[in-house]
Amino acid sequence: MDNNPFLNAQQQIDDAAKYSDCDSEIIKVLKEPQRVIEVSIPIEMDNGKVEIFKGYRSQHNNYRGPYKGGIRYHPGVNVDEVKALSAWMTFKCATVDIPFGGGKGGVIVDPHKLSEHELKHLTQGYIDKIFDLIGPEKDIPAPDVYTNAQTMAWIMDEYSHIARVHSPAVVTGKPLENEGSLGRDTATAQGAAYVLYEYLQTVEKKLENTSVAIQGFGNAGAHLAKILYDSGFKIIAVSDSKGAIFSTDGLDPRAIEEHKEKTGSVKNFKGTKNIPADDILTLKVDVLVPAALENVITNKNATKIKAGCILEVANGPTTPEADEILEKKKIDIIPDILANAGGVTVSYFEWVQNLSRFYWSAEEVDSKLKSKMESAFSDIHNFAKKKKITYRQAAFALAINRIGKAVKNRGILN
């Protein structure tokens, strides 16, 4: 099998379905998106020339609530990628038991090559094309790769402008000044940390000096590095798209962040060794954190992985073939649909606050996030232990059960 992320997602569903209570007819429904939208977005560039950008939105499943999922701006965006990501969102929302289905969007673009003015017009053009299919009760986008709070503010503004009504709940991950939620910027990382703490306590491992390698020093990876560092973990390696650095003495993530802001990369940080970016995946560490793009752990490198466990902060970083290899090596994988669900959980909190127009303190958000993530891990750990299956199989099977019950109760297949 090639590393087609949508085929991988379907295989993960099939692999877990046998441990669920759902019949095969419901599984068939859950393996396909309900709708996939492709749009062409013409933009007048700063030089006066018109460029055409291709955009997508996959709406996988809304049986438990409105579609929910990010929008990414990346040159590698393709239809199979957004279909896979929308499917993972469906199962992710069910895993942490929040009332959303899965969606995902993307535009094929290298945002680093566009000015802020061009990015704003690209965002407006994309929303103009999909306006009828999104909304607070239909489909609620969020930030993803190379999109951020500013992008979300543009989306809210464009949607509100077309709808002629102030509509903050159409999108999450907004700036605080535009009715965003406290804690949203660190939610993915904080949620992952809470799950990791629970896992390590379950396997009776001390948190202090637990060694960690983080592949992907972007928003989630950098925030997680700081959270774990402050909790006594030892960050021995980090990487970005340009390379990786390693030090057995440990790294200060805040100092690395300053270095990256100045130089554009984590490479050449004083007192560390530069290593090839891919080598970070095969270091001997207690915790390996893939926090970049999908399909980085494959059958080609899984045999070389020496980590005690893998915390999947990226979406779909491990292929099904690699899963089998790692299971035989007895390396626990805390799957993406649990590990990185803190982002969509606090997005849900933001949406609730937007609809009620009542806003919570940072402490309230964090307390609710902690409770959700710990409860989800407990459910998955107990199910995995009972069925003698992996955490991924348990997470998908539990999610399938929750979605399947919603399908049956609504009589959708009757």
Catalytic residue positions, numbered = 104
> Which candidate, 355, 337, 366, 339, places its Cα nearest to that of 185?
366
Q: Could you identify the residue written with the tokens 């915790």?
A: 287
> Which candidate, 35, 123, 151, 19, places its Cα nearest to that of 86?
35
Alpha helices (runs of H) in 237-314, residue ranges in sequence order: 253-263
Q: List the 35-44 sheet strands across, edge first.
A: 35-44, 50-61, 101-108, 67-74, 139-143
Please state, in angstroms and rounded to a whole number, the distance separating the CA atoms of residues 52 and 36.
19
Task: Give the amino acid at 269.
Answer: F
Alpha helices (runs of H) in 131-174, residue ranges in sequence order: 149-163
Tokens linked to 377: 């891990």
Tokens linked to 191: 């949620």
Q: Is 199 exposed, middle or buried (0-12, 13-18, 19+ CB in 10 A)?
A: buried
Residues 292, 216 contacting (CB under 8 angstroms): yes
